[in-house]
Structure 1
Amino acid sequence: MHILHIYKDYYPVVGGIENHLRLLAEGLVARGHQVTVLTNALNGRGGEYEVNGVRVVAAGRLATLASAPLSPALLVQMVRQRPDLVHLHMPDPTGDLALALVGPRTPLVVSYHSDIVRQRHLLHLYAPLLRRTLRRATRIIVSSPAYQCSSPFLAAHQDRCVVVPYGIELARFAHADPAQVAAIRARYPGPLSLFVGRLRYYKGVEYLIRALVHAPGQALIIGADATVRRADLHHLAQQVGVAERVHFLQAEDDAALPAYFHAADLFVLPSIERSEAFGIVQIEAQAAALPVITSELGTGTSYVTLHGQTGIVVPPADPLALARAMRVVLENPNLARAWGAAGRQRAQMEFDHTRMLERIEALYADII
C-alpha cells in the first residue's frame, strides 16, 4: 500500500506531532508499505530526500504565518502524488487547502491531533476549511475518548471517529544507566519531582513552582525556552521563596533523559490549557515506572494517567491541589511504587508503538 502522510513539518523538526509522524511513517515502512511524507521545507527551497525508507517531499515555503506555512509549492506537489490512501495530520491549514484543490481522488484518513486553542484569529479563517476536511474524511483518528467527546469540531462526526492512542518506543525509557541515576540523586537529594517539556504557555510550570511552597523536596525542570522563559520562572521561584529547590536544566538529548526519569520520585505535568491534547511525556514517565500527577483538561491527559490507579489528576491552575497531590505521592513511597508499576503495565498494554501501528494498519486495511 502506498500511503501519503501530510503535515506542515517533518524530521529534522522535532516536536510532539513530528515525532509521532516519524515513528508512524518509519514503522509502516518496516511493515512493508510504501510511505511518502508531503511536508514543507524549512526555507524557501524545497527538495526530496529519504529518511529510513520514508520518501520525504519537502515543498518550499514562502513564509510562515501564525505557525502555518505559506506554500503554493505544496499544492503543486499534492497534484503529482498517486497514493492509495492519504493521511492528513491536523491542524494543518496548508494541507487542508491542498486536499480541497485536488478533489476526492483517494480515501482520506485524518489524525485530529488538537483543536486550535490560542490562535483565535487563525481559527476564524480556518474553521470552514477544517470542517470541509472532516466532512470528507473516511475515518478520523483521535488520541483519546475524552478528546473525541470534548472537541466541538468533532461533535458532528462521532460515527467516523476512531480512538487510537499515541504509542512510543517504551524500551528507551524502561532502563537507565545506574551510574547516571546515582549521580543525579547525589546532586539533587531528597524527594525529587520532575517536569520535562518545552516551556510553553499551556504547560503550567509556574503552578508547579508555586506548589513547591507547600510540598517537600526539590523539582527538576528540563526544557528549552519557548513561549515562556526559564529566566522568568526562576524569578518567580525567587519571589515565592523556593529558588534553592527548583533547578532548571538545558534541554537534554534523548539518550540522557531516561536517567532523570529513573532518578525522580514523581513526574508532574501541570498543564492548564487544551493545547495539551494528550501529554505523551506521561507515557515516558510510565515506562520508567514513575507515578504521575497531571491536570484534568477534558483531553487525553487523564486518559493516560488514571486517577487513583497510576497517579493523581488535579484541577488545572490550582497550586494548592497540586501540592496536596505531590505530598500524597512523596510521603507514601509504597503507594508511589504501586502506581508506578501500574503505570508501566498500562503503558505496555495501551501505549507501545507496535500496538499503535497495528491499530492504524488495521484501519487502513479496512478502508482499502
Structure 2
Amino acid sequence: MRAVLLPDVPDRSSVHARDRGARRRRASRRAPRGARVTPLRILHLAANRWWTGSADPTLQLVAGLRARGHEVLLGVIPGDRFETKAREAGLELLPGLALTPGAAARDTLRLRAAIRSEGIDIVHAHHSHDHWLGLIARPAVSGRGRPRLVRTFHNLRAVRRDRLGVRLYRRTAAVFAVSRQIEGRCREVGIAAERVHWIPGSADLARFAEEADPRPVRDEFKLGDAPVIVSVARLAPNRGHDLLLQGFRLLLRELPAARLLLVGKGETRGHLEQLVAELGLVNQVVFTGYRDRDLPLVLGAADCFALMSAGSDDSCRAALEAMAAGRPVVARRVGALPETVVHGETGLLIEDDRPESVCAALATVLLAPERGRAVGAAGRQRAQDVFSPERSIDTVERVYRSLV
C-alpha cells in the first residue's frame, strides 16, 4: 500500500485505483505457487513507544501476513525505534499518524481517509489507544460495510474491567490473547468465548536457529571457559535483578568461576551497580548494555539463561528467544512463564522468591552441563513446535477470514 492522502487534498481516486491494482498483482505474485489467494486489506495500529515485548511479535505478524499475499498497512508512533525496525523489515507504514491522545482528532480524520481509500477489511489494534482510535475512525466502506475491529492483548493489565472497557469489547469482533492467563481474563470481563482466540507468544526463531559461536562475546568480556549465566531484561524495579544477584552470590560458593551477564538498559542500573559492589560481585557480574543486534551471539556465550520476571508482555519473549537459541531456562513461576518453560524438560521454574531457591536452580543446570545441553535442545524443539510465528499467523488469518 502507498501513502494515504489527507481529506482536504484534491480527489485522486483513479490514481488510488491504479495503485491498488498494482499492489494486488504484487500480492498475488507473493502467494505460494499453486495457491489461490483472495488478499485481505488489513490495517494494524501499534502505538509502541519503545522496542518492548509486544513490538517484535507485531512486526512478525505484519510481515507474515504480507508474505501470504495480504495487503497490510502499519500505523506507528513516528520517530522511535519501533518505526525504524518496521522500515528495516520493509513494511508499509501509514504516514502522518501520531498515535497519541493529543492527536486523536487529527489521527481519526487520517485513518478514515485511509480506510476509505484503501478499502480496509480489518483494523487490528495492539494497544488501548489504538483500540479506541480504531473504533471511532471506522467509516463505512462503499459496498463493504464497516471494517471489522480486532485486538491483540499483549499483557494481562491491558484487559480492563471497567464500563468503558466492556463497552469497547462489545464492539470488537475478535480478540487475541498471547497467554492462557489473558485468555481467561478476557472471558472474566465478559468477552464471549467464541470471540477470544489464544495465539502463542512467538520469537524470531530463524534468528536463533544456528548455534552461535560463543567466542566473540566470551573474548569481549574475558570470560574464558567460565560457566556463564545470561539474563536479558530491562533494568527496572519489577524485573527481579536484586533476587538474581543475591542468588548468584550464593552460587559462587559452589561455582566460584561462574559469571553473570546482565543484558539491558534502564533506570535501575545505578542501583544495581551499587548492589553488585555491596555484594562483592564486581569481578563476576558484567553489565553488557543493550545488545539487540548481536543478541544471538550473547545467548551463544551462555550456559544458562535466567529470568526472574515475566516482563512487559505475556509472551515472555526473552525466555522464548533463549529457548530458540537452545539454552536451558531458569525462571520464576510467575506470569505466563509456566506456559513457556516446562519444568524439568526445557528448564527449571522457581516456586518462591528466596535467593537459596535461585541458587539451587542455577546450580542444578550448571553442575551438570551435559544435562543442561539436553534441556536446552528440548527448549529449542518446543520453541519450534509451539511458539513459531507461523502458528500465530495461521490463527490470526483464519479468524480474519471468518469475519470478512
Q: State whether TM-score is above 0.5.
A: yes
Q: Could you say what secondary structure the match of 1:41 adopts?
A: coil
Alpha-carbon offset, residue 16 of structure 1: 2.0
Matched, 1:77 2:99: no
Q: Decide which of 19, 32, 35 is 2:56's aligned counterpart.
A: 19
1:60, CA displacement in angstroms? 4.6
Indicate the SS of the match to 2:93.
Answer: strand
C-alpha contact (below 8 Å) 2:263/2:289 kept by paired residues: yes
Question: Cα gap change, 1:111/1:137 in structure 2, threshold over 3 Å: closer, same or farther?
Answer: same
User: Amino acid of the residue matched to residue 173 of structure 2?
Assistant: T
Which residue in 2 is equivalent to 1:112? Answer: 153
Counterpart residue number, 1:357: 393
C-alpha distance after superposition, 1:159-200 (max 9, x if no partner): 421111122221211222354255258525422110112223
User: Residues of 1 paired with 2:206 and 2:167: CA distance?
Assistant: 40
Q: Distance between the aligned counterparts of 1:329 and 1:130, measured in 2?
A: 44
- Indicate the residue corresponding to 1:252 in structure 2: 291
- Once the two structures are aligned, what percentage of the paired residues are identical? 28
Paired with 1:270 and 1:69, the residues of 2 have a C-alpha distance of 36
In proportion to residue count, which structure has more strand? Answer: 1
Question: What is aligned with 1:162?
Answer: 197
Q: Provide the residue aligned with 1:222 in structure 2.
A: 263
- Paired with 1:278 and 1:317, the residues of 2 have a C-alpha distance of 22
- 252, 256, 262: which one aligns with 2:300: 262
Question: Which ranges in structure 1 are unaligned for 5 or more consecutive residues?
Answer: 44-48, 118-122
Distance 1:290 1:33 in 2: 35
Deviation per CA, 1:273-327: give whole Å up to 9, x if none: 7x44231111111111100011222x32111111111111123643222222111
Q: Pairwise CA RMSD of aligned residues?
A: 3.0
Number of residue-to-residue matches in the alignment? 346
- Within 1, Cα distance between the matches of 2:190 and 2:370? 42
Go from structure 1 to structure 2 and tell me whether the alpha carbon gap of 1:356 and 1:276 turns closer, same or farther (over 3 Å shift): closer
The residue that corresponds to 1:46 in the other structure is: none
1:191 and 1:151, CA in 2 relative to 1: closer, same or farther beyond 3 A? farther
**Counterpart of 1:38?**
75
Q: What is the CA distance between 1:130 and its match in structure 2? A: 2.8
The 5 Å alignment of 1:1-368 reads 1-9=40-48, 14-42=51-79, 54-61=91-98, 70-80=103-113, 81=115, 82-90=119-127, 92-100=128-136, 102=138, 105-116=146-157, 127-150=162-185, 154=189, 156-175=191-210, 176-177=212-213, 179-180=215-216, 183=219, 186-187=222-223, 189-216=225-252, 217-225=258-266, 228-254=267-293, 256-271=294-309, 275-297=312-334, 299-315=335-351, 317-368=353-404
Q: Which structure 2 segments of 5+ residues have no match?
A: 1-39, 81-85, 141-145, 253-257
Compared CA separation, residues 40 and 261, structure 1 to 2 (3 A):
closer
Secondary structure of the corresponding residue to residue 37 of structure 1:
strand
Q: What amino acid maps onto 2:71 in structure 1?
A: Q
* Separation (CA, whole Å) in 2 of partners of 1:347 and 1:289: 9
Distance 2:57 2:401 in 1: 20
Matches of 1:38 and 1:101 in 2, distance apart? 13
Q: Residues 60 and 71 of structure 1 are in contact (CA less than 8 Å); yes or no, is this contact kept in structure 2?
A: no
Matched residue of 1:202: which SS?
A: coil
C-alpha change, 1:60 and 1:150, in structure 2 (3 Å) is closer
3-state secondary structure, aligned to 1:187: coil
Using the TM superposition, give the Cα deviation of residue 127 of structure 1 relative to its aligned residue in structure 2, in angstroms: 4.1
Structure 2 CA distance, aligned partners of 1:58 and 1:130? Answer: 28
Q: In 2, distance between residues paired with 1:263 and 1:69?
A: 45
1:136 Cα deviation after fit: 2.0
